[in-house]
Amino acid sequence: QAPWSLSSPAIPPHAMCSMKPTSVILLSLLAWSCEASPVNSVVKLLAELKGRIEADGQKEQASYDKYSCWCEATLGRKAN
């Protein structure tokens, strides 16, 4: 008889009950850490989206700065 069987006196029944949730948690963590998991795909997509948004924000800021400078210069010319 294998030492891990349910009828084995080496493992008391209360220990088996406490091992079940632990094994479920370990299996969940294993599935979560897998490269192809949906959670990892979403995290990867969000990271890519964050990079794109930050790059777009820098471009928009540069355009705004240029327009703002033009407005100030034009306003200065018209005021004189």
Q: Tell the residue number behind the tokens 């795909």, with chain if given.
A: 41
At 15-55, the pLDDT tens digits run 545 556 666 676 666 665 555 778 888 999 999 999 999 99
Asked if 4 and 11 count as a contact pair (C-beta separation under 8 A), the reply is yes
pLDDT of residue 47: 94
Given pLDDT bands bounded at 50, 70 and 90, which one contains residue 1? very low
pLDDT of residue 24: 67
For residues 31 and 40, give the distance between their C-alpha atoms in angstroms, rounded to a whole number: 11
Q: Which DSSP helix (H) or strand (E) runs through 11?
A: none
Please give the DSSP secondary-structure letter assigned to residue 36. T
Over range 59-80, report the average pLDDT: 92
Alpha helices in the chain, H assignment, sequence order: 13-33, 38-79
